[in-house]
Amino acid sequence: MSGGISQAAFTKALLDPDRPAPASLTSPSGAQAGKRFDVYRNNVAVSLTEALGVAFPVVRKLVGDEFFTAMAGVFLRAHPPKSPVLMLYGDQMPAFLEGFAPVRHLGYLPDVARLELQLREACHAADARPIAPDALAAIPPEDLASARFALAPATRILRSQWPVFSIWQANSEEGAPAPIMRGEDVLITRPGFDPAPQCLPAGGAAFIEALMAGASLGEALEKAGGDTAGFDLAATLALLLEGGAITSILTRDSET
Amino acid sequence: MRDNANHTPESLPPGPGVGYKPQHYSDILADPGPVRWLEIHAENYMGDGGRPLAQLRHLSERFPISVHGVGLSIGGEGRLDPEHLARLAHLVGWLRPASFSEHLAWSTHEGAFLNDLLPLPYTRATLARVCDHIDELQEAIGRRMLLENPSTYLAFAESEMSETDFLREVARRTGCGLLLDVNNVFVSATNQQTDPRACIDDFPIGAVGEIHLGGYDEDADDEGAPLLIDSHGREIADPVWALLDHTLARSGPLPVLIEWDNDVPEWPVLAGEAARAAKHLEKVAA
């Protein structure tokens, strides 16, 4: 094999704009590649920055385009994609934001990134058929406490000490109310193909997380009550049902 | 026995196709115009579910589909990613597309995916590696693939053969077909200061199963020499249409794809480019 540049050296130069282009890469006249190598550098940085901008539109809006582009440049060099499937690229963004000094004053930013990541996960999660609207009412009352619920693969829960849903909504929808400083727990369902994030009542996150972990309705209620008094079971179940998030109910002797 | 009844044709029709963009979904179903087939980027259809897969399933009932991989890194020094091979095999398995193609390029190094089609030196070592990887891919997906010629912006001092000789030898050793991107030939020939027509004349045309066309941007290198960038962000340039005629005169009618991936226009603009390709194809069919 003849000498020449390894892909390791090519990659190193590609990701470091301060390095010169590798010497064995040339123009047709034999000159150093220079600007010609920069085409590849630019393709990598621009395409991954674009992917991150599409992935985190609210984070981008909150910090501004110019800042986001600079920050994406730091992120993509520290965390290049680990897979050519870019639909979920950026799973390390929340942790990155937690450690990125220039955004330390924006304490809510990592949770906004978590919410945007979960929305994308929900988009691409497996399809599922929700139960019929009256299926829950059809369960004999004596079987309710022991019933177990299977939830759609798109279902996600995010607990935050920040008003993460209100911040997301105020930056995504026209005329959304201004966020009030409080913690918010978010439920993401996917009725049809579009993820629908909603704020959960107190105790709702603990309740749904328990269901997801395989607890019965009675056990999940205990978890919810343990968190807060006055848990609104009816409102929480309604959010799940309206979001098409319940795909089957398992009672002692039947699966609905 | 209508060959449209069950969309698992063995090859693409020798007419115009377009790179599918989700924003054109309703327009395509309402009126595809001259468009006879669609190409998708494999990596955008590797989720577990959701709208992209549902739309693709529906479109595949109406149109022959070409699956075009943009991330396998066939020219990579490392081994092919077995998880990605499995994802490709899964997609090809359920969709049963009319064609599968990938690139003569690399994009992954030590697990980092760089999201660009990076260039290769045309050496005997590269040739052996690329052929091994194509053998492995064709084995994994259970069918013949088409390999696309790249756009290049620079040269490797260590290259030992021309790109066309390299492609000819890959096709001979692996039995794969070739995807001839006429815009890439024009871009690379301009950037390497060679003759694009001579490249087409030397291209192993008998192995070509599909043609790509796309738009380029114009820039200049450090010495002021023209530097064309394969941007896929605008109309196809006139000299590329002329080079298409030169190509079709050698090859006869082939499936011709319009690629427009950035600043994607409204459907009528894209359909208009496909109509223009149809006219060029009619000239050779007549």
First CA to last CA distance, chain B: 28
Residue B209 pLDDT exceeds 70: yes
Q: Which residues of chain B make contact with A4, given a CB cutoff of 8 A?
A: 121, 123, 156-158
Residue A134 pLDDT exceeds 90: no
Asked if the structure places residue A121 within a domain, the reply is no
How many domains is chain A built from? Answer: 2
First CA to last CA distance, chain A: 65
Same domain, A41 and A86: yes
Residue B285 confidence (pLDDT): 74
Q: What is the pLDDT of residues A48-57, one digit of tens each?
A: 999 999 999 9
Q: From start to end of chain A, where are the E strands?
A: 25-26, 148-151, 156-160, 184-189, 196-199, 246-250
Mean pLDDT across B58-75: 98
Contact present, B208 and B177 (Cβ < 8 Å): yes
Same domain, A78 and A149: no
Average pLDDT, chain A: 94
B6 — pLDDT class (breaks 50, 70, 90): very low
Asked if the structure places residue A114 within a domain, the reply is no
Do residue A82 and residue B113 have CB atoms under 8 angstroms apart? yes
Contact present, A41 and B115 (Cβ < 8 Å): no
The token pair at B188 is 């690379």
Do residue B154 and residue A33 have CB atoms under 8 angstroms apart? yes
A255 — pLDDT class (breaks 50, 70, 90): low
Q: Which CATH superfamily is domain B16-285 in?
A: Divalent-metal-dependent TIM barrel enzymes (3.20.20.150)
Residue A133 confidence (pLDDT): 80
Residue B5 confidence (pLDDT): 41
Please give, rounded to a whole number of angstroms, the shortest distance from the CA of B150 to a CA of chain A.
13
Average pLDDT, chain B: 95
Same domain, A81 and A172: no
Do residue B77 and residue A6 have CB atoms under 8 angstroms apart? yes
Q: Measured between CB atoms, which of B51, B71, B222 is closest to A84?
A: B71
Instruction: Rounding to the nearest 10 degrees, give the CA dihedral for residues A40, A45, A51, A55.
Output: 170
Residue B1 confidence (pLDDT): 33
Same domain, A78 and A183: no
Mean pLDDT across B116-142: 98
Asked if the structure places residue A241 within a domain, the reply is yes
Same domain, A162 and A57: no
Same domain, A93 and A132: no
Distance, CA of A154 to CA of A246 (rounded, Å): 11
Distance, CA of A198 to CA of A176 (rounded, Å): 13
The token pair at A129 is 């058929």
Mean pLDDT across B107-116: 97
Where does a domain end: A47, A72, A106? A106
Residue A115 pLDDT exceeds 80: yes
Do residue A35 and residue B222 have CB atoms under 8 angstroms apart? yes
Asked if the structure places residue A113 within a domain, the reply is no
Q: Measured between CB atoms, which of A11, A25, A48 is closest to B156?
A: A25
Distance, CA of A173 to CA of A177 (rounded, Å): 9
Taking CA–CA distances from B47, the nearest residue in chain A reads: A124
Contact present, A88 and A123 (Cβ < 8 Å): no
Residue B260 pLDDT exceeds 90: yes
Q: Is the dihedral of CA B40, B45, B49, B52 positive or negative?
A: negative
Residue A194 confidence (pLDDT): 97
According to DSSP, the β-strands at A148-151 and A246-250 are antiparallel
B227 touches chain A (CB under 8 A): yes
Q: Measured between CB atoms, which of A4, A125, A128 is closest to B158?
A: A4
Same domain, A59 and A131: no
A92 CB-contact burial (10 Å; exposed 0-12 / middle 13-18 / buried 19+): middle
Asked if the structure places residue A242 within a domain, the reply is yes
A2 — pLDDT class (breaks 50, 70, 90): very low
Same domain, A136 and A202: yes
B83 touches chain A (CB under 8 A): yes
Same domain, A58 and A101: yes
Residue B4 pLDDT exceeds 50: no
Asked if the structure places residue A98 within a domain, the reply is yes
Q: What is the pLDDT of residues A4-49, one digit of tens each?
A: 899 999 999 999 989 999 999 999 999 999 999 999 999 999 999 9
Which residue, B263, B189, B241, is CA-closest to B16? B241
Instruction: Fill in the DSSP letter of residue B245.
Output: H
Q: Looking at chain B from residue 147 to 186, which residues have their Cβ under 8 Å from any Cβ of chain A? A: 153-158, 160
Taking CA–CA distances from A191, the nearest residue in chain B reads: B50
Residue A216 pLDDT exceeds 80: yes
Do residue A27 and residue B221 have CB atoms under 8 angstroms apart? yes
Q: Which residues of chain B make contact with A45, given a CB cutoff of 8 A?
A: none
Residue A256 confidence (pLDDT): 53
Residue B77 has a CB neighbour count (10 Å cut-off) of 17
A225 — pLDDT class (breaks 50, 70, 90): confident
Distance, CA of B18 to CA of B10 (rounded, Å): 19
* Secondary structure class of B228 (helix, strand, coil): strand
Residue A1 pLDDT exceeds 70: no
Residue B3 confidence (pLDDT): 40
Residue A186 has a CB neighbour count (10 Å cut-off) of 24
Q: Which residues of chain A make contact with B121, given a CB cutoff of 8 A?
A: 4-5
Q: Which residues of chain A make contact with B76, given a CB cutoff of 8 A?
A: 7
Mean pLDDT across A139-149: 93
Contacts of B174 (CB under 8 A, 6+ apart): B131, B134, B135, B138
Same domain, A239 and A137: yes
Mean pLDDT across A102-108: 98
Interface mutation target, options B25, B56, B57, B221, chain A, most CBs of A under 10 Å: B221
Asked if the structure places residue A212 within a domain, the reply is yes
The token pair at B236 is 């196809």
Percent of chain B whose pLDDT exceeds 70:
97
Residue B11 confidence (pLDDT): 87
Same domain, A27 and A149: no
Mean pLDDT across A70-89: 97
Q: What is the CA radius of gyration of chain B?
A: 18
Task: Map B58-75 to HEC letters.
Answer: HHHHHCCEEEECCCCCCC
Distance, CA of A208 to CA of A210 (rounded, Å): 5
Ramachandran assignment for B224, one of left (phi > 0), alpha (psi -120 to 50 degrees), beta (any other): left
The token pair at B86 is 């499995």
Residue A229 confidence (pLDDT): 66
Distance, CA of A235 to CA of B61 (rounded, Å): 42
Same domain, A19 and A98: yes
Note down the domain range covering A210: 126-256
Residue A192 pLDDT exceeds 50: yes
Please give, rounded to a whole number of angstroms, the shortest distance from the CA of B238 to a CA of chain A.
23
Residue A112 has a CB neighbour count (10 Å cut-off) of 26
Do residue B43 and residue A84 have CB atoms under 8 angstroms apart? yes
Percent of chain A whose pLDDT exceeds 90:
89
Please give, rounded to a whole number of angstroms, the shortest distance from the CA of B280 to a CA of chain A.
31
